[in-house]
Amino acid sequence: MSRVLVVSSDFINQRMAGPAIRSYELARELHRAGNEVILASRAESDLPDPGFPIIAHDTSTLQQLAPKQDVIFFQGYILEAYPFIAASGARLVSDLYGPFNLELLVLKPLQKSANDLPMWDGTVSVVNEQLRVCDFFVCASEKQRDYWLGALSALNRVNPENFGRDPSLRSLIDLVPFGLPAEPPRRKGRAMRGVIPGIRDDDFILLGGTIYNWLDPLTLIRAAAMASAKHPNLRVVFMGIRHPNPYAPDSWMVHEAKRLATELGVINRIVFFNEEWVPYDRRGDWVLEADVGVSTHTDHIEAHLAFRTRFLDFFWAGVPILCTAGDTLGDTVERRQMGISVPPSDPDAIVRAIDVLADPVVRKQQAARVREYARELTWPNVAGPLVRFCADPQQAADLAAVQPARVRPVPHGDSEAAAAPRDWRYLAIKAMTTVLYQGPMSVLTKGRRYLGRRVNARLHPRPDRPLDPVQPRR
């Protein structure tokens, strides 16, 4: 039995988004396996007692808990927020199921400005830091694993030490996809039919999840407007709009979707936006009332590597799926004939898919295949690699022998951000890891050299660079 601290980057509450759900469910699996688990949320939880503590994380609490753990499992920016975790002595496991560096590209299209580039550079540094110091990594698909192995190679983590322990490198990074409950959903009440004005018991419902900037509700809305002439009982419902994380940035795509639905005259008639986030224990009511689950995206790198959380609820309920091709689950839907996948940004293809899926016989055949596949994705099945690591947590072979190379982001041309001094958090993390791997005297030596370079740069500026580092080059 190991002592395992699961640190979530989200709020563990009755209304949870994907990262929180994943932390909660994997903590439950680790607890079932006999580990002594503590789940740390961004705030106090309102969930019923799961049999292990759910606490609110802050610096003081984690500073006390971290040195007492055998394993610390975290996601997102946790290591930047609490850099002392890296020196806790616990085996560190990073959850890379959602490549948040790629999400940032679509969350806010980056411009070459002093405001945007430090955000990007900072995120790259955060990703690289956890790739450099963690003992084990989990991700959601083989596509993602290939991507992260490339990143690990660039940081010298794919090396003779790790290869010697396990030539497959599964002991370094393995698959823990998003899962679903082992028990099928049970109705607790009505959700859409006869509850949302304009949706009747006999309507043909396409159910989507929330709307993020990296998704494409616009093509779906256009297709729904086109298909409604032939299928007047067609209804498209977006399940939850207002994110449960109060700090989550507003989605400009939500505003665009509502604007388009209004312009086309289909809002609250064909297309419906459920503003409130659906509680975790009520989501079964929604997916059980759906005829088809739907997820659409445009053609970009985030979509190529994504593992969409909402698909899992559709699988759980045995609902056929209409989706954009190109991501892992979209390709799986097509290969296993669990629905229809369409090219990105093609409303005509969606209309043709709706025509096919309007046939109850077709949906019944596809639903049987969905239920068969769902059995492979239950949380007890997918959590296996993480459970096995925690049963015998080992330090990564290379971390005991070799310090992996640090790779810094390449400066972005002549932007102001490229010339700006390093953020204090970057310097603090660098100092801490230097102490950890090279000793305190190395910090003093490198610190003197760093200050010497800064003073020399001020006294003897290069002719092609301005004296003031915050002024752009001319």
Domains in the chain (CATH in brackets) are 3-178+390-416 (3.40.50.2000), 204-377 (3.40.50.2000)
Check residue 6 and give its pLDDT: 99
How many beta carbons lie within 10 A of that of residue 281, not counting itself? 12
Q: Distance between CA atoms of 202 and 200, rounded to whole angstroms?
A: 6
Check residue 459 and give its pLDDT: 57
Q: Distance between CA atoms of 258 and 303, rounded to whole angstroms?
A: 22
Pairing verdict, β 321-324 and 339-342:
parallel
Check residue 421 and give its pLDDT: 47
> How would you write the pLDDT of the chain (474 residues) with one tens digit per residue?
899 999 999 999 999 999 999 999 999 999 999 999 999 999 999 999 999 999 999 999 999 999 999 999 999 999 999 999 999 999 999 999 999 888 888 776 544 554 555 577 888 999 999 999 999 999 999 999 999 999 999 999 999 999 999 999 999 999 999 999 999 999 999 999 999 999 999 999 999 999 988 899 999 999 999 999 999 999 999 998 988 888 877 788 999 999 999 999 999 999 999 999 999 999 999 999 999 999 999 999 998 999 988 889 999 999 999 999 988 888 999 999 999 999 999 999 999 999 999 999 999 999 999 999 999 999 999 999 999 999 999 999 999 875 555 444 444 444 444 444 455 555 665 565 555 434 566 667 667 766 766 655 555 544 333 322 222 222
- The three state secondary structure string of 132-166 is HHCCEEEECCHHHHHHHHHHHHHCCCCCHHHHHHC
Check residue 121 and give its pLDDT: 82
Check residue 439 and give its pLDDT: 54
149-166: b (≥16 Cβ within 10 Å) or e: bebbeebbbbbeebeeee
- pTM score, whole prediction: 0.82
Check residue 426 and give its pLDDT: 54
- Closest by CA position to 399, among listed 444, 352, 436, 351: 436
Check residue 461 and give its pLDDT: 47
Q: Distance between CA atoms of 136 and 394, rounded to whole angstroms?
A: 9
Cβ neighbourhood burial of 195 (10 Å; 0-12, 13-18, 19+):
exposed
Q: Tokens at residue 428, please?
A: 């603090």
